Amino acid sequence: MDESNISRSETPRSSASSLLSIPIENCLVRLSIDTDEKNMQINSDLFKSSKQKFIDNIGIDIGGTLAKYTYYDLENKLVEFGFKQTDDIDGLISTLQNIIFLRSKNSPESPIKAINATGGGAYKFYTILKDSFPDIVLNRKDEMTSLIHGLNFFINLKQREIFTYSDTDGKNYVQKQDSTFKDQCGDNDEIILVNIGSGVSILKLNLKTNEFKRVGGSSLGGGTLWGLLTLITGITDYDEMLKLASHGDNTKVDMLVGDIYGTSYDAIGLKSTSIGSSMAKIYKKPGTDFNYGDISKSLLYTVSNNIGQISYLQANIHNIDRIFFAGSYIRGHLMTMNTLSYAINFWSKNEKSAFFLEHESYLGAMGALVS
């Protein structure tokens, strides 16, 4: 199986609709998985035991901001992923109804039997979901456990899923069993998983036993960036904001070490180009119309650096070297990943590494689907 089996688009696209002839919006990534035993693209024994659930169910993860869903398109042997705004719960319900309808039409011998729901919305919208799907079993799944099951599913794929990223080295894929993945971290089976959604959850996980503990969190997450930028720029499209950030120049609003010292501060290892104080140039010029791209980039750096730092601190407390980042906050955005990687390398003096996943937004939905 090669890379062409995974497709990613930086902007939501609706190509799933052409495949399924139904309006499934915001489908980001799709994964080709053959569930025949001999062709199975998954290493996990755990998956083999959950194969039927994988085919029979739909997994949904209704978070504070986005409602993610995933299901197996039996006809085309494709795992479909998509999302809606959580506020558009009616839109999610009609999408799920379409999926259920099409399965019963195209594969009447194998109808969708259950919706496995996780995230806060599995509780908040329980009654409306139950009433909307009277003939389908509705199972509620724990959010943190679903994240772990989802991670387990994705990292056991025998194809390109886990990668490191930096602007200088680009994207480098690793496999769970690779010596490079193990060597740099010794034989320790533990990882830190940082899920960046509306808020941030930090979990410690043993990859061998699947034991996990939520060791920390932060309310400064994706919702914070999105909320502050909406307030400042008035932009209501998240992708538009990411695009703006990509073209911005944060040095117009951030106060750099060089702005304070006139040079680098070598004695404590700070380059003149390091950010000394995020957004601090703004107060010096009250009334100035600062460029939205510059502000967006600065805030993206602020939130990402902060998450990177607390993730490093948690990894340090627990003596763990591998830090996985997931959640729709990342959404394959290169600047975000570079900032998180840079923060981990910077604070750990290159002793710890940041890892990313192709399907980073769908850990919860996939975990609910297979659990």
Ligand X SMILES: CC(C)(COP(=O)(O)O)[C@@H](O)C(=O)NCCC(=O)O
Residues near ligand X, by CB under 6 A: 63-64, 119-120, 197-201, 217-219
Question: Nearest distance from residue 121's CB to ligand ADP, in Å?
Answer: 8
65 in contact with ligand ADP (CB under 6 A):
yes
* Residue from 216, 222, 293, 332 binding ligand ADP (CB under 6 A): 222
Report if residue 325 touches ligand ADP, rule: CB under 6 A: no
Among 59, 327, 332, 367, binds ligand ADP (CB under 6 A): 327
Q: Whose Cβ is closer to ligand X: residue 86's or residue 250's?
A: 86
Q: Which does 328 bind (CB under 5 to 8 A by kind): ligand ADP, ligand X, none?
A: ligand ADP
Q: How far is the CB of 328 from ligand ADP (least distance, A)?
A: 3
Contact partner, 82, from ligand X, ligand ADP, none, Cβ < 5-8 Å per class: none
Partner from ligand ADP, ligand X, none binding residue 201, C-beta < 5-8 Å depending on class:
ligand X
59 binds, among ligand X, ligand ADP, none (CB under 5 to 8 A by kind): none
Decide if residue 64 touches ligand ADP (CB under 6 A): yes
The item of ligand X, ligand ADP, none sharing an interface with residue 278, based on CB under 5 to 8 Å by kind, is: none
Selected binder of ligand ADP within 33, 35, 63, 297 (CB under 6 A): 63
329 touches which of ligand X, ligand ADP, none (CB within 5 to 8 A by kind)? Answer: ligand ADP
Pick what 218 binds: ligand X, ligand ADP, none; C-beta below 5 to 8 Å, kind-dependent. ligand X
Site stretch for ligand ADP (CB under 6 A), options 17-25, 149-157, 325-333, 334-342: 325-333
CB of 120 to ligand X, least distance (A): 6
Among 20, 27, 58, 66, binds ligand ADP (CB under 6 A): 66
Q: 3-class secondary structure for the chain?
A: CCHHHEEEEEEEECHHHHHHCCCCCCEEEEEECCCCHHHCCECCHHHHHHHHHHHHEEEEEECCCEEEEEEEECCCCEEEEEEEECCCHHHHHHHHHHHHHHHHHHCCCCCCCEEEEECCHHHHCHHHHHHHCCCCEEEECCHHHHHHHHHHHHHCECCCCEEEEECCCEEEEECCCCHHHHHCCCCCCEEEEEEECCCEEEEEEECCCCCEEEEEEECCCHHHHHHHHHHHHCCCCHHHHHHHHHHCCHHHCCEEHHHHHCCCEHHHCECCCCEEECCCCHHHCCCCCCCHHHHHHHHHHHHHHHHHHHHHHHHHHCCCCEEEEECCCCCCCHHHHHHHHHHHHHHHCCCCEEEEECCHHHHHHHHHHHC
